[in-house]
Structure 1
Amino acid sequence: MLFMVQMKVNPPSHLTKEEFDDVKVAEKNRALDIQRKGKWPHLWRVTGKYSNVSIFDVESNQELHELLSSLPLFPYMDIEVTPLNEHPSALKD
């Protein structure tokens, strides 16, 4: 199942810069792990925003939820999930 996921980070005011930097390092490591497993094949930064647009390739809604909630920045993000289906006019490989 393919999902487009838009994530907007809202930096927390209760963490020091150093604490937030540690969360960002943990986030990068977790994101790389998910990507290496083939579950997060596309990740793009939204220009000029602390935001990204991603494509996840997972087996279920539950798997997607588990992956997203495992991200260290999850408590500080607004997330919008859109299920995707192949378009009938899409060029086939």
Structure 2
Amino acid sequence: MEFLVRINTDLPMDMASEEREQLSTRERDRTVELRAEGTLKRLWRVPGRRELVSLWEAKDPTVLHDALASLPLFPWLDIDVEPLATHPSER
């Protein structure tokens, strides 16, 4: 099952820069793992915003939730998920 996922990041303004850098590194590493697993299919930045648009594939919404919750930045993410269905002309 495919999902369109929009993610906005909202880190606290007073977060130490060292902590931000560590989180960013861990997030990048986890993203690489999710791509290698085939869970995260595509990832786009939205220019001028702290927003990502991404295409994910998971067996069901619970598996997707677990993958998203595994992201180190998860506590600071505002996530919107849209399940996708195959269009008849794609069959």
Interval of TM-score (by shorter of Structure 1 and Structure 2): over 0.9
> 1:13: Cα distance to partner?
2.8
Tell me the residue number matched to 1:32: 32
Tell me the residue number matched to 2:11: 11
Tell me the residue number matched to 1:78: 78
Runs of 4+ in 1 over 6 A off after TM superposition: none
Gaps of 5+ in 2: none
Letter in 2 for 1:47: P
Hey, what's the Cα distance between the residues in 1 that align with 2:14 and 2:54? Answer: 28
Tell me the residue number matched to 1:54: 54
Gaps of 5+ in 1: none
Hey, what's the Cα distance between the residues in 2 that align with 1:35 and 1:14? Answer: 31
Hey, what's the Cα distance between the residues in 1 that align with 2:17 and 2:49? Answer: 18
Question: Could you state the TM-score of these two structures normalised by the residue count of structure 1?
Answer: 0.92
Question: Could you state the TM-score of these two structures normalised by the residue count of structure 2?
Answer: 0.94
Letter in 2 for 1:84: L
Q: Which has the higher helix share?
A: 2
1:29-63: CA deviation from partner (whole Å, max 9, x where unpaired): 00110001111111111111111000101101111
Q: Name the SS of the counterpart of 1:20 in structure 2.
A: helix
Letter in 1 for 2:86: E
Pairs aligned (count): 91
> 1:89: Cα distance to partner?
2.9
Calculate the aligned-residue CA RMSD, in Å: 1.1
